[in-house]
Amino acid sequence: MILIRDTNFKIRDTMKTKYIFNRKKRLNTKGQAPVEVMIYLSRKKRIFRSTGVFIAPKFWDENKNELKKSIPNYQELNHKLILKRHSLEDQVIKEAMSGDFSSVTLGTQKVKLFEFFEHRVIKVTNSELTEGTQMIYRRTLRYLKEFRKEDFPITKVDVFFLESFNIFLKETKKLKLNGRASLMLRLKTVMNVAVNDGVVDYAKNPFRTFKIHQVEPETHSLTLEELTRIENLDMSLRPELDKTRDMFLFSCYTSLRFGDLINLSFENFEVLEQGRIRLTYIQEKLRHRSAKKVQWIISDFWGGKIDKIILKYFKKFENVKDVQKDIRFFFRYTNQHYNRQLKELQNFAGIKQELHSHLARHTCITLLVNDFGLDITKAQMIAGHSKMEMTRKYLRVTERDLETAARNINWDK
């Protein structure tokens, strides 16, 4: 029995941590097992927390209890493990000191779903999630509370409960397939955390058999003609939309997500020889999972249009260049305000396609690959995609493309 809150000992002085690999002696379908952190609160109190890192057994040194240097991307993975270990230590201390789990005794029927969801998952991990993901977690919990008015033991969550909740989301909340899938995936995460914490037995996790179905969403983007129309707008007629247009076009040229766009400041840009500008940033969406940077010279693309926008804001913020960073963000809008302004911009430009923050990212990748013929591996670098499949979905191959390719092949070889 593990009691999270215990005021009779000094947590930081007594807490010890170590990595545990493949604790449950099982491999996933990729032949990998998780690396976890075991946190000792005292001789009789220990907690297991996931690092989110899965590796093949051949890459784990059992004697040294660490990654083998032969594993691909060793430096990045090892850095990720160290950061996650420290983060988990801070989380456990935060839990214990806040008293959020003062009534929760892990490993017994006392652990309730809503309480665990809110205090163990949302409050502890919110700092590691983007604003959008936080909203989805909170929405999932809110719908769960509407579905079941009173809290109940998390061990009572079974396949029947999941199927019933899915029907509730479909018929009562009128959510489509992908909308339901988004919420069910968050509930699945909660159950996985419960398994890692020893609250729910692995064999009794209903998501082992319950399948979450979703369809590949259709990605929309602006045409080159529509983008040009926005570029050529006379902003003297609507000066209040000038910054919104700059933000949207900058994303159309660079593929930046909204969360990365609003965090841009002088630190993200480096002026090179001949005035060329390099953009460097860590994606907000992946910040807590990877420290990998997206970096490329923006001056080499779009005929100098990106430079023209950002130099405008270099000049505008020059007088606060050396003050605290939060004053020097170039595009500090809320997502709600930005999307409202984009609707106004859409009407001003006379475009039927609805403008929203993520449309700009889709537009950038789609146009670079399909209209300008940029090699898909280069587009992947600009987009910051970790997998080629994520970029390839933007590639539009038509029957005419296949006919042209077939004619260019020498079939007599």
For residue 80, the one-letter residue type is K
CB 368 within 8 A of CB 221: no
Residue 115 domain flag: yes
**Closest-CA residue to 175 (of 221, 142, 219):** 142
Residue 410 domain flag: no
Q: Residue 75: which region, alpha, beta or left (left: phi > 0; alpha: psi -120 to 50)?
A: alpha
The encoded tokens of residue 335 equal 């997502």
What's the pLDDT band for 43 if we cut at 50, 70, 90? low
Domain end residue (candidates: 158, 184, 208): 208
Instruction: Tell me: do 294 and 328 sit in the same domain.
Output: yes
Instruction: Write the burial class of residue 52 (CB in 10 Å: 0-12 exposed, 13-18 middle, 19+ buried).
Output: middle
Residue 409 domain flag: no
pLDDT at 132 over 50: yes
DSSP code, position 121: I
**CATH number of the domain that 376 lies in?**
1.10.443.10
pLDDT at 188 over 70: yes
Average pLDDT over residues 4-15: 50
DSSP 238-257: SGGGHHHHHHHHHHHHH---
Residue 215 domain flag: no
- Residue 62 sits in which domain range? 2-208
Residue 278 domain flag: yes
Instruction: Tell me: do 204 and 228 sit in the same domain.
Output: no
Residue 196 domain flag: yes
Least confident stretch, 36-40, 105-109, 313-317? 105-109
Can you list the pairs that 303-307 forms with residues at least 24 positions away whose Cβ atoms lie under 8 Å? 305/231, 305/249, 305/253, 306/250, 306/253, 306/254, 306/277, 307/275, 307/277
Instruction: Tell me: do 269 and 168 sit in the same domain.
Output: no
pLDDT at 261 over 90: yes
Total domains in the chain come to: 2
Instruction: Tell me: do 372 and 296 sit in the same domain.
Output: yes
Average pLDDT over residues 120-149: 83
Domain end residue (candidates: 208, 238, 258): 208
pLDDT computed for residue 345 by the predictor: 97
Instruction: Tell me: do 75 and 137 sit in the same domain.
Output: yes
Average pLDDT over residues 33-49: 77
Instruction: Tell me: do 254 and 203 sit in the same domain.
Output: no
Q: What is the mean pLDDT of the chain?
A: 84
Instruction: Tell me: do 152 and 249 sit in the same domain.
Output: no
Instruction: Tell me: do 191 and 274 sit in the same domain.
Output: no
Instruction: Tell me: do 143 and 289 sit in the same domain.
Output: no
pLDDT tens readout for residues 214-242: 887 777 899 999 999 999 999 999 999 99
CB 136 within 8 A of CB 182: yes
Instruction: Tell me: do 267 and 316 sit in the same domain.
Output: yes
| Residues facing 279 on adjacent strands | 269, 296
**Closest-CA residue to 117 (of 232, 51, 200):** 200
Average pLDDT over residues 138-150: 95
Instruction: Tell me: do 193 and 239 sit in the same domain.
Output: no
Q: CA dist 253 to 177, 212, 213, 237, 383, Å?
A: 32, 35, 33, 24, 11
pLDDT tens readout for residues 279-323: 999 888 776 666 678 999 999 999 999 999 999 999 888 876 666
Average pLDDT over residues 332-341: 91
Residue 351 domain flag: yes
What's the pLDDT band for 122 if we cut at 50, 70, 90? confident
Domain end residue (candidates: 208, 234, 252): 208
Torsion, Cα of 190, 193, 199, 203 (10° steps): 90
Instruction: Tell me: do 237 and 191 sit in the same domain.
Output: no
What's the pLDDT band for 367 if we cut at 50, 70, 90? very high
Residue 252 domain flag: yes
Task: Report which secondary-structure segment, H or E, holds 45.
Answer: strand 45-55
Strand (E) positions, 284-377? 294-297
